[in-house]
Amino acid sequence: MEKVFSMVGGDGEFSYHQMGVIQAYTIRKLEPLLVEAIKHLSLPEHGPLHIADFGCSTGKNSITCINFIVKSIAERYAKAAAGETTGHDTTCMPEMLVFFIDLPVNDFNHLIQLLASNKAENGGDSIGVDGADVAKVNNYLSATRGGSFYNRLLPKESMHFAISTWALHWMSQIPKRVTDPNSPCYNKGRSWILGGDPLIAQEFAQQSQLDLDNFFNCRAAEMAPGGIVFVLLGSRQDATNPTNQCDPDFAPGPDYENAWNDLIADGVITTDTRDTFNIPVYYRSKEEVKTSIIKCGAFDIQYLQSCDDESLCPKDELMHMLQFPQSFAKFYSAWARAMMGPIMEAHMGLQATNEFFIRHQRRIAAHATSVLSDPKAQEEYKCFNLGFLLVVLKRKVPKSMEPSPF
Ligand SMILES: C[S@@+](CC[C@H](N)C(=O)[O-])C[C@H]1O[C@@H](n2cnc3c(N)ncnc32)[C@H](O)[C@@H]1O
C-alpha cells in the first residue's frame, strides 16, 4: 500500500489540491476547537517547538491548518508575555519547526512549492535573519518526512503538537484473506465492505484496530510530556455493525459499485480485477477509537466527540449544484478520483481507470437527475454526509520522568 497510495498530485482537474475543497470546509470549522486544544498544551521551556501534521497530502489544506496552529500558539506566548495568563507559562516564544508527513509517494514537490510561497513559513514581512527575530513573528521553519504514520517517524519525546485530518481512516493494508480467492473472506462482487458480508468487515475491523494501536503507540513515543495530539478522522455512527460504514449516498456507495459492474459488463476488465480491488478505508466507531486510546495508556483524553451525519458541504451549495446534474457529477466523480484514482491506476492501469470514471460520472449524473425531480429525495440526498470523530489527547508524563519522592 505504502508504495502506491497517495492522493492525486499537482494542481490538475483531478488533483487533491483542487478537489480537497470539501475537506477544507470541515477543517475551517475546527478552528475554535484548535484554539481550545492549544490552551492545554504545555509550552516548552526551550525551543524549538515541534509541530507535525500526519497525512499532509499535497499541502493546501495542511498549510492553512498549520498557519492557524502556529498563529494560535504565538498568541498564547504573547498573552503569557503580557501577563494575561496564569500558571507557569513560558513567555519567550521559541522557534517553531513543522514536520509535514505523508507516505513516500505523496507529491511533496507540490507541497514544497506551496510552502515556498507561504507567507507564514517565510516569516511574513518582518523577518530578520537571526533567531531572535524568528521567534517574535508569526512564522515557522519546515521539514518534510516520507513514511507511514503507523510507524515511528520522529525522535522520542520531541513533538509538542501533532495534528492529523482526514487521514487516519486509511488502512495500512488490505487484509490478505480479503483478496485471496480461496478464503471464505474473499470480497467477491464488491470493492468495499459497505452493506457487505460481516465476516469480511470483521477482517477490516481487525486490521484497522492493529493500525490504530500502532498509531497511538508511535505517537506516545514521539510526543513530549504535555504535548497535544489532535485528530479528525472519518467515523461511523453504528457501533455494532461495521458493514454499515456510512450513508449509501456517500462516495463509495452504490454509484461507485455500479460503475465497477458497468466496467465489467462493457468488457473493459474481468470480475477478478474488481474482486481483488478493495478500498483501503475503515470508518471506526467512537468506541473502537476509545478502546485503542485506553489500551495505549499514554494519553489523557481532553475531547472525544463524534459529529454524526455531518454534511461536508454547505446545504445550500449542494442544492445549487444539484440543479445541474452533469456538472455536479463531474465534480463529485473528480472528488472521488482525487482520493482513489492513484490506487485504482496502480491496480488496473490508467486506461481502465479513465473508463471507470466515465461510468462513475454517468451513474452519478443519472442519480442526481432522478433526485432532482423529487423535492423530498433531494432533501434526503446525503452524498456529502459522513460522520467524523474529533479527538484531542494530552501526553501524560511518563513514569520515568515523574519527580522522585526522595
Ligand atoms: C484525504 S488526505 C487528507 C489531507 C489533509 N490532511 C486534509 O485534511 O485535507 C489523506 C492523506 O493521508 C495520507 N495517508 C494515508 N495513510 C497514511 C499513512 N499510513 N501514513 C502517512 N500518510 C498517510 C494520504 O497519503 C493522504 O495524503
Q: What is the pLDDT tens value at each position of the chain, 406 positions in all?
A: 778 899 999 999 999 999 999 899 888 889 999 999 999 999 887 889 999 999 999 999 999 999 999 999 999 998 888 888 766 566 788 999 999 999 999 999 999 999 999 978 776 544 444 443 433 445 899 999 999 999 999 999 999 999 999 999 999 999 999 999 999 999 999 999 999 999 999 999 999 999 999 999 999 999 999 999 999 999 999 999 999 998 888 888 889 999 999 999 999 999 999 999 999 999 999 999 999 999 999 999 999 999 977 778 888 888 888 889 999 999 999 999 999 999 999 999 999 999 999 999 999 999 999 888 888 888 788 888 888 999 999 999 877 776 665 6
Give one word for 86, left, alpha or beta, with left for phi > 0 and alpha for psi -120 to 50. beta
CB atoms near residue 237 (< 10 Å): 15
Cis peptide before 375 (omega within 30 of 0): no
Alpha-carbon gap, residue 54 to 230, rounded angstroms? 10
Alpha-carbon gap, residue 324 to 7, rounded angstroms? 27
Stretch (H or E) spanning 391:
strand 388-395
C-alpha cell at 272: 477478478
- 404 domain residue, yes or no: no
The pLDDT score that the predictor gives to residue 138 is 53
Among 369, 379, 374, which residue's Cα sits nearest to residue 329?
369
- 271 domain residue, yes or no: no
Parent domain of 158:
16-247+278-314+384-397
The pLDDT score that the predictor gives to residue 125 is 44
192 pocket-lining for ligand 1 (C-beta < 6 Å): no
Among the atoms of ligand 1, which is closest to the Cα of residue 172? 19
Domain count, the chain: 1
Report the separation in Å between the CA atom of 166 and the middle of ligand 1, taken as the mean of its atom positions.
Answer: 7
Report the separation in Å between the CA atom of 105 and the middle of ligand 1, taken as the mean of its atom positions.
Answer: 11
CATH number at residue 71: 3.40.50.150
| Angle, helix 198-222 to helix 286-296, in steps of 10 degrees | 40
166 pocket-lining for ligand 1 (C-beta < 6 Å): yes
What letter would DSSP give residue 187?
A: -
C-alpha cell at 2: 505504502
First vs last C-alpha separation in the chain:
51
Report the separation in Å between the CA atom of 51 and the middle of ligand 1, taken as the mean of its atom positions.
Answer: 16
Among 75, 66, 294, 44, which residue's Cα sits nearest to residue 159?
44
C-alpha cell at 203: 477482517
- 353 SS3 class: helix
- 286 domain residue, yes or no: yes
28, 103, 109: which to mutate for ligand 1, most atoms within 8 A of CB?
A: 103
- 373 domain residue, yes or no: no
19 pocket-lining for ligand 1 (C-beta < 6 Å): no
- 180 domain residue, yes or no: yes
In this structure, the residue with its CA closest to atom 14 of ligand 1 is 55
Report the separation in Å between the CA atom of 81 and the middle of ligand 1, taken as the mean of its atom positions.
Answer: 36
In this structure, the residue with its CA closest to atom 13 of ligand 1 is 55
CB atoms near residue 344 (< 10 Å): 22
Report the separation in Å between the CA atom of 4 and the middle of ligand 1, taken as the mean of its atom positions.
Answer: 13
The pLDDT score that the predictor gives to residue 318 is 84
**Long-range residue pairs from 11-19, CB within 8 A, at least 24 positions apart, any chain:** 11/110, 13/334, 14/334, 14/337, 14/338, 14/341, 15/58, 15/338, 16/57, 16/58, 16/60, 16/338, 16/339, 17/58, 17/59, 17/60, 17/110, 18/334, 18/338, 19/334, 19/335, 19/337, 19/338
Entry pTM = 0.93
The pLDDT score that the predictor gives to residue 83 is 82
- 157 domain residue, yes or no: yes
Report the separation in Å between the CA atom of 102 and the middle of ligand 1, taken as the mean of its atom positions.
Answer: 6
The pLDDT score that the predictor gives to residue 133 is 41
Among 128, 24, 120, 106, which residue's Cα sits nearest to residue 66?
120
The pLDDT score that the predictor gives to residue 129 is 42
5, 57, 150, 335: which to mutate for ligand 1, most atoms within 8 A of CB?
A: 57
The pLDDT score that the predictor gives to residue 373 is 85
In this structure, the residue with its CA closest to atom 20 of ligand 1 is 148
- 55 domain residue, yes or no: yes
Q: How wide is the angle at C-alpha 148 spanned by C-alphas 171 and 353, nearest 5°?
A: 55
Q: How wide is the angle at C-alpha 331 spanned by C-alphas 330 and 333, nearest 5°?
A: 70
The pLDDT score that the predictor gives to residue 116 is 92
The pLDDT score that the predictor gives to residue 39 is 94
Q: Which residue reads 492549544 in cell numbers? A: 38
In this structure, the residue with its CA closest to atom 11 of ligand 1 is 55
In this structure, the residue with its CA closest to atom 5 of ligand 1 is 56
DSSP string, 30-92: THHHHHHHHHTS---SSSPEEEEEES-TTSHHHHHHHHHHHHHHHHHHHHHHTT-S-SS---S
- 259 domain residue, yes or no: no
Among the atoms of ligand 1, which is closest to the Cα of residue 150? 19
What letter would DSSP give residue 100?
A: E
Report the separation in Å between the CA atom of 154 and the middle of ligand 1, taken as the mean of its atom positions.
Answer: 17
